[in-house]
Structure 1
Amino acid sequence: MSNERPWLDHYPAGVPTQIDLDTYSSIVAVLDEVFERFRDRPAFSNFGKQLDYGQIDALSRQFAGYLTGVLKLGKGDRIAIMMPNVLQYPIALFGALRAGLIVVNTNPMYTARELKHQLEDSGAKAIVVLDNFASTLQQVVADTEVKHIITTGIGDLLGFPKGALINFALKHVKKMVPAYHLPSAVRFRDALAQGSAHSLSKVELGHDDIAFLQYTGGTTGVAKGAMLSHGNMVANMLQAGSWIGKNAKEGEEVIITALPLYHIFSLCANGLVFMRLGGLNWLITNPRDMPGFVKELKKSRFTALTGVNTLFNGLLNTPGFSEVDFSRLHLTLGGGMAVQRAVAERWKKATGCTLAEAYGLTETSPAACINPLDLKAYNGSIGLPIPSTDVAIWSEDNQPLPVGEVGELMVRGPQVMKGYWKRPEETAKVLGADGWLHTGDIAKMDANGYFYIVDRKKDMILVSGFNVYPNEVEDVVMQHPGVLEVAAVGAPDEHSGEVVKLFVVRKDPALTADALKQFCHDNLTGYKRPKIIEFRDSLPKSNVGKILRRELRDEKKAAPAT
């Protein structure tokens, strides 16, 4: 047994080897339990306003009433949520799930092109959007199936006068809300008021029903919706929950939620795992404002924090961070991108808490491996496979490889997605009939069952935990009339792990890097935009004429960016 799964011999005390998936039939069954057990406990906090589980229960019930009673949306209809971490997010999310809808998490920073693709592909009939991003929606909504638009401002649930002041400042002082015209849109608060007249009828949901379409590039550039079922999400909630195990106290946890809840890592780890523990999610709306973020940390006696390497690094380098009270902090989890040793060591020194690295994918809801939380120091590993999860290293011809050999990391377990929405061929490329998922990551396993990422098989670029697919960037750049050829690769960057670098062959000799950067700015969201542009007379190609990104990358490694 342990030859095949050597990691089981190294599980932390008290962590089970298997989970019981039948504990809950759906995420909604978890919500029902949580709302009953932790009714009076604080659930979400944002800008100093706190809502308890009883209030979240009532408000999400009203929102579900609006979706089903007023909009007449039914089980399996898709609804997009395009918001950062604000109180409206969990209310809309839980309301949609309680109504039996499929949630399409949408990055608020999307450009019109990216948003249009996601809304068209998912067939979303409704969208909840923050005012700050409504002008992007206005540009594309006519080309989609969206019939119902619900808009809201950051301050809408913060009470008077604070909420009104924040909304006014964002719009008129900071100019962060571009003018938009969506005449049929309904305000979020009005939707809640209308929904309160309708009772929530129980929707039968089981493990096979889809809960989320979580968009990811997979191995190619076009964003595809990973179909994450209620069973997938319940599984990962139970798996990660059992891993945290005795470290977490029910009803006493305060987790800092700085990563956006529309990102699968934050959605599952913070939004669901800690909710099941009756924890308080302390929502950070704009973690890029590091001084503001540190101020929030000082107000909260937090016990847990999840993030990506860039976030931890940013905090460590922000004045005032050393004055934060870390006395209750017992869990720091890093995922989304590789945690750097220097950052992990500085984190441990500054906070007294080990930064444990985890590994997952959108396609695995997301966690597959996590380091033991009693780890004494950073170990460079992505950890051990979590309960009910098999991980293996395979060769190019799909044969299992022995300990220490390098090959593709494969994952199998109840958290592996059902497939990609309406893309059976793409699904077949990564998911075998036997349930093994090809991750596209190159890794090895040691004798104790710890896994180590060696490289990425795909040409994917990882910017601060967000996947950037070179195909997509290149497709956009090729639309510029002055470009003949382009290759996008990742260049190492001490802040974000990697940045996008372009190698460009010009069609128009007058084309400048600044002009091309502006073009990318108009067509790509921030983290996908190239930071470095190098013009070349030609690009390396294979004998069939395919541009060899790897050669450009290797050349890059030989001469690091200055």
Structure 2
Amino acid sequence: MNDFNSHTLLAALPARLGAIVRRWSHDTPHAPALHDGSRHWTYAQLAAAIDETAATLRALDLRPGDRLMVVGENCAAQVALTFAATDLDAWIVHVNGRLSAHEVDQIRDHCGARRVIYTSAPGGAASPDTAAHGLRHAATVADSPFGAWMAGALHTGRVPEPVHAASEYQVAALVYTTGTTSATGAPKGVMLSHRNLLFVAAVSSRLRGLVPSDRAYGVLPITHVYGLTSVMLGTLYAGACLYLCPRFTPEALLAALHDRQLTIVQGVPAMYAKLLEKLGSVDAPLPNQLRFAYAGGSPLSPSLKARVERVLGVPLHNGYGLTETAPTVSQTRLDQPRSDNSVGQPIPGVQARVVDAHGEQVAPGVDGQLWVRGPNVMLGYYREAQLTAACMRDGGWFDTGDLARSDADGALFIVGRSKELIIRAGFNVYPLEVETVLNAHPGVTQSAVVGRPGAQGDEDVVAYIELDARHPVTLEALDAWLAQHLAPYKRPAEIIVMDALPAAATGKILKAKLAAGG
């Protein structure tokens, strides 16, 4: 199932995202496409809602090349707006309603949105935070196929971007990366084409063995590239049904496993850690219909992986990607699950190289900088030509900024982020290595390790942790645990306990906030 010709797949890809829904609305019009918590949408109903939404956007004077910003949390409106906007050659800019006013306004100003749509209206239960942003911007409540939403004012001074002559290379989505900014201090927007997104959706769908009868959990935010491409587009590409959920809670996941009989779950490690915490001492497999579970978005420790596999009763697959690669670079294979922390082999059609400081490929087992090349690599950073040039290498290679090594079979292991590297007493300390040891302790739910300026230009290793109340542990005991597994220079100078680590809506820990003092 996992062996397929990527060249044949590329040649068969449609030019536009909208072809995904149109195909299934023709072939299986009555099959379920979405469930948003209150109603089902068949593929025929979703296609009709997309057409109606596109007509609404035209009436709102959205033009080809315009940026349409959509503020919201996972709902059917976001799905339809994605397809409707890209049908019009506009760029969709998804922004999570849980962001602060400052963050939302920064993205709105940087992308130059001609319109902003807020998927919730005042009084709606779906996302009060989204409605609050709409009220703050004096948006107008309007009806849509999905109930009431809010439309912001027309920004007449916005200039549309050129439309590519070949639709597959037209920008479809402008995705802002979590916790990163450009050299100018503005948010960093990644331009992804129809081809970028469709390629990853198709390959992801194939590697998961998705079929129309599958029921996938859609809790990863559509505002993030993982939720947008791999989960939302990948599920619909296969003609399967996506069960949307606006926010993760362990209780909601347990209910969906039982009530919706999910067959596919994709999440981030923090999500699975919270599920284990909720289950307490339960270690036997939960009754479920799962055939595939996947973790991505941040490092997965072998200890967490093993515990989740016991509870879910299926292998927990691992992978690696970035916003700039739409996102998938590698993942473990359905028929070859692993017990270690490898992120698998590059997906078909994508090449990966681990290189030294001079760009020369290093031998398997040697750490180096990870470069990737393929149809998934972004068009560039919006309005940041210098930043784009700084990460691109000759031959179309993208420098990920991550440190990795490969094994003899080409499977990748992520060592850490080069920009997170801590220099302590002249030695390199990779936060991921320290976090893996901390997370392996049963008393730790999750951890984040950052560097802090020390004496005479040195750096201290500082660990922030969330404790698991089921397994009480003292800081002294954690120090002893670390001493058993790490060299002295790698051990934290300080361990700070937090009720909850700062995290994005995806569950990704925001280390920049910790490095800045919490």
Into which bin does the TM-score normalised by the smaller protein fall? Answer: 0.7 to 0.9
Using the TM superposition, give the Cα deviation of residue 115 of structure 1 relative to its aligned residue in structure 2, in angstroms: 1.5
Alignment of 1:500-519 (within 5 A): none
**Which of the numbers 82, 88, 91 marks the counterpart of 2:71?**
82
Alignment of 1:403-552 (within 5 A): 403-459=364-420, 492=435, 494=439, 497-499=446-448, 539-540=454-455, 542=457
**Residue segments in structure 2 that go unaligned for 5+ positions in a row:** 150-163, 423-430, 464-488, 498-518
Contact 2:76-2:146 within 8 A present in 1 as well: no
Structure-1 residue corresponding to 2:272: 312
Contact 1:26-1:205 within 8 A present in 2 as well: no
CA distance in 2, matches of 1:20, 1:44: 25
Alignment of 1:274-289 (within 5 A): 274-287=235-248, 289=249
TM-score by length of 1: 0.70
Structure-2 residue corresponding to 1:248: 210
**Residue segments in structure 1 that go unaligned for 5+ positions in a row:** 1-11, 132-150, 155-165, 195-202, 462-488, 504-537, 543-547
Question: The residue matched to 1:20 in structure 2 has which SS?
Answer: helix
Using the TM superposition, give the Cα deviation of residue 447 of structure 1 relative to its aligned residue in structure 2, in angstroms: 0.5
Contact 2:110-2:186 within 8 A present in 1 as well: no
Alignment of 1:216-365 (within 5 A): 216=177, 217=180, 222-244=186-208, 247-249=209-211, 251-287=212-248, 289-319=249-279, 326-365=287-326
- Code of the residue aligned with 2:28 in structure 1: it is F
Structure-1 residue corresponding to 2:111: 122
CA distance in 2, matches of 1:67, 1:13: 39
Contact 2:324-2:378 within 8 A present in 1 as well: yes
Using the TM superposition, give the Cα deviation of residue 36 of structure 1 relative to its aligned residue in structure 2, in angstroms: 1.8
Structure-1 residue corresponding to 2:45: 55
1:110 aligns with 2:99: yes
CA distance in 1, matches of 2:187, 2:55: 31
Structure-2 residue corresponding to 1:143: none
CA distance in 1, matches of 2:22, 2:165: 13
Which range moves more in the overlay, 216-225 or 296-305? 216-225
Q: 1:415 to 1:153 in 2, by over 3 A?
A: farther
Using the TM superposition, give the Cα deviation of residue 177 of structure 1 relative to its aligned residue in structure 2, in angstroms: 5.8
CA distance in 2, matches of 1:193, 1:304: 30
Question: The residue matched to 1:328 in structure 2 has which SS?
Answer: coil
CA distance in 2, matches of 1:434, 1:175: 42
Alignment of 1:370-385 (within 5 A): 370-385=331-346
Contact 1:66-1:192 within 8 A present in 2 as well: no
Contact 1:307-1:333 within 8 A present in 2 as well: yes
CA distance in 1, matches of 2:167, 2:320: 27
Show CA shifts across 1:34-62 (max 9, x none): 32223211111122421111111111111
Show CA shifts across 1:174-205 (max 9, x none): 999699355452424289999xxxxxxxx986
Structure-1 residue corresponding to 2:508: none
Show CA shifts across 1:503-546 (max 9, x none): 6xxxxxxxxxxxxxxxxxxxxxxxxxxxxxxxxxx85464xxxx
Contact 1:291-1:319 within 8 A present in 2 as well: no
Using the TM superposition, give the Cα deviation of residue 385 of structure 1 relative to its aligned residue in structure 2, in angstroms: 0.6
Q: 1:109 to 1:501 in 2, by over 3 A?
A: farther
CA distance in 2, matches of 1:33, 1:180: 38
Structure-1 residue corresponding to 2:356: 395
Alignment of 1:111-150 (within 5 A): 111-131=100-120
Q: What is the count of residue pairs matched by the alignment?
A: 438
Using the TM superposition, give the Cα deviation of residue 259 of structure 1 relative to its aligned residue in structure 2, in angstroms: 1.0
Q: 1:88 to 1:176 in 2, by over 3 A?
A: closer
Which range moves more in the overlay, 221-230 or 183-192? 183-192
Structure-1 residue corresponding to 2:15: 25
CA distance in 2, matches of 1:459, 1:339: 17
CA distance in 1, matches of 2:354, 2:143: 48
- Code of the residue aligned with 2:235 in structure 1: it is F
CA distance in 2, matches of 1:414, 1:550: 40
Show CA shifts across 1:126-151 (max 9, x none): 112244xxxxxxxxxxxxxxxxxxx5
CA distance in 2, matches of 1:73, 1:96: 8
- Code of the residue aligned with 2:380 in structure 1: it is G
Contact 2:225-2:323 within 8 A present in 1 as well: yes
Contact 1:219-1:458 within 8 A present in 2 as well: no
CA distance in 2, matches of 1:153, 1:329: 36
Show CA shifts across 1:5-54 (max 9, x none): xxxxxxx7533354532321121233321322232111111224211111
Q: Which has the higher contact order (CA 8 A, sep 6+)?
A: 1
Contact 2:192-2:326 within 8 A present in 1 as well: yes
**Which of the numbers 7, 10, 16 marks the counterpart of 2:5?**
16
TM-score by length of 2: 0.76
CA distance in 1, matches of 2:197, 2:95: 18
CA distance in 1, matches of 2:358, 2:130: 55
Using the TM superposition, give the Cα deviation of residue 498 of structure 1 relative to its aligned residue in structure 2, in angstroms: 4.0
- Code of the residue aligned with 1:335 in structure 2: it is G
**Which of the numbers 100, 110, 135 marks the counterpart of 1:180?**
135
Question: The residue matched to 2:256 in structure 1 has which SS?
Answer: helix
Contact 1:19-1:239 within 8 A present in 2 as well: no
Q: 1:342 to 1:191 in 2, by over 3 A?
A: closer
- Code of the residue aligned with 2:201 in structure 1: it is M
Contact 2:71-2:130 within 8 A present in 1 as well: no
- Code of the residue aligned with 1:228 in structure 2: it is L
CA distance in 2, matches of 1:319, 1:360: 29
Contact 1:43-1:50 within 8 A present in 2 as well: yes
CA distance in 2, matches of 1:101, 1:271: 19
Q: 1:401 to 1:89 in 2, by over 3 A?
A: same
CA distance in 1, matches of 2:145, 2:240: 29
Q: 1:552 to 1:339 in 2, by over 3 A?
A: closer
CA distance in 1, matches of 2:299, 2:218: 19
CA distance in 2, matches of 1:429, 1:175: 35
Structure-1 residue corresponding to 2:492: 557
